[in-house]
Amino acid sequence: MFDPPIDLSDLPGYQATASTRPARTAFLGRCSTKDNQDPRSSIAGQLAEASALLAPGEAFTAHFWDVESGMLGLDERSQGSADDYARLGVPVPRDGGLRELLEWVERGELDRVVCERISRVARDMLPSLQVEYHLASRGVTLECANEPRGGMTTGQLELRRTAQVRAEIYRHELLEQSMRGQRQHAAAGYRHGPPCYGYIAVVDADAPPAANRFGGGRPKMRLALHPDSRRADTVQEVFQLRREEQLRDSEIARVLAADLDRHPLADGQVLWRPTRVRRMLAQPKYSGYQVFGRCAARTNRSRINPIADWVWSREQAHPMLVPLEKWHETQLVTAQMQQRQAPGWDRVNEAAAQRRIQLRAVRESDTHILYEAAGRQFVLPRGDLPAAVADEVIAILEAGA
């Protein structure tokens, strides 16, 4: 219906010239961790579905796939080593993961990328869109085997965006269900994370089996006192040195290091560091209660969540090393010591408070402290803070506000 009024088919350029170069098509796949899915069947199944989009006689130029969570950001993807993937025994060749795919695209070595469905690119919509945009801006098409072929672009786009939204909603649903289970796990007193100094993890033989689960499942564990009783004594002495003598982290570390026979190091520990002492003093599990949600594990493990958001077990779940009242008193002493800044700190603290920026100590030595605030880290001396240094710190806080 849009033909010219006369026959122009004899003119050069009447029809687009077909490229003589065969299309360079890559396979992109992903499955969750090997604990949740069997990558051998999952990746092979995705490849079989994606192969339906190949032309007769065409083969994939390269294969890119990952075995990891689709909730990771682009900068966190494709972290596994070649040896790790070789041990999985997946019957599909691997030229890399998503990160390597983007590098191939950047070098102009691909024309088309095919995957089973858009959620295999990423669970979150933002990184999925970022990959799609990156490919399109370099002339590389992204096709999904579960999307219809032909028709109008708007229909295909609506289906793809709907699938991306659904994938992200499913991701949040999984997180909500997982967090609900983690809270109940902690409330019942079962262990979360590695055991802290002075404890070991033991299987709770009295724990009920997981309902509606085929197979054994992971056993529930609780904390128990370490067989070396010196560790329990060390924990109690650390709290006493802070609470009664108000020693700094570095001073307590020196006390412990001076007598390793009484204060043994933890496995893999080479010396007593102030940061380890600080973590020990902040650990509420020494009160005998199980506690979950202290740190922002997925975003920033160094950031401590508000205490009001922590999940405490309904009752004491393991042997107590420090009574909860003494732990509470120790936290007050620590807070008071942190507020006792030299006069030069007044303007810095006021500037931080006005901008609702937390000035947090990361680690320290006998003479200096490494602070973090407003996305920046800087080293400041102990004691008096020179006016010029205070001005520079305030400028950093103002820039990050």
DSSP string, 180-214: HHHHHHHHTT---SSPPTTEEEEE-TTSPPPTT-S
What is the pTM (predicted TM-score) of this model? 0.58
Lowest mean pLDDT among 80-89, 333-342, 359-368: 333-342
Fold of 25-172: Rossmann fold (3.40.50)
With beta carbons less than 8 A apart as the criterion, state whether 400 and 376 touch: yes
Instruction: Return d(Cα 265, Cα 267) in angstroms, integer.
Output: 7
- What pLDDT, on a 0 to 100 scale, did the predictor assign at position 27? 97
Q: How far, CA to CA in Å, does 75 sit from each of 100, 102, 324, 386?
A: 12, 12, 41, 39
Longest dimension (CA), the chain: 100
User: Which has more confidence, 213 or 7?
Assistant: 7
Task: HSE, CB side, 13 Å, CA atoms: give it for residue 51.
Answer: 13
Question: Do β-strands 376-381 and 368-373 pair in parallel, antiparallel, or remain unpaired?
Answer: antiparallel
Average pLDDT of the chain to the nearest whole number: 85
Q: Which pLDDT band holds residue 23 (cuts at 50, 70, 90)? A: confident
Q: Which of 387, 385, 354 shows the shortest CA–CA distance to 369?
A: 385
- CB atoms under 10 Å from CB of 122, counted, come to 27
Q: What is the DSSP letter of 299?
A: T
- The neighbour count for residue 28, using CB atoms within 10 Å, is 26
Correct CATH for 221-336 of 3.40.250.10, 3.40.640.10, 3.90.1750.20, 3.30.1370.60? 3.90.1750.20
Please, which pLDDT band fits residue 163 given cuts at 50, 70 and 90? confident
- Predicted pLDDT at 19: 64
| Residue 397 contacts residue 354 (beta carbons within 8 Å) | no
Region 208-220 average pLDDT: 60
Which token pair is 74? 């682009």
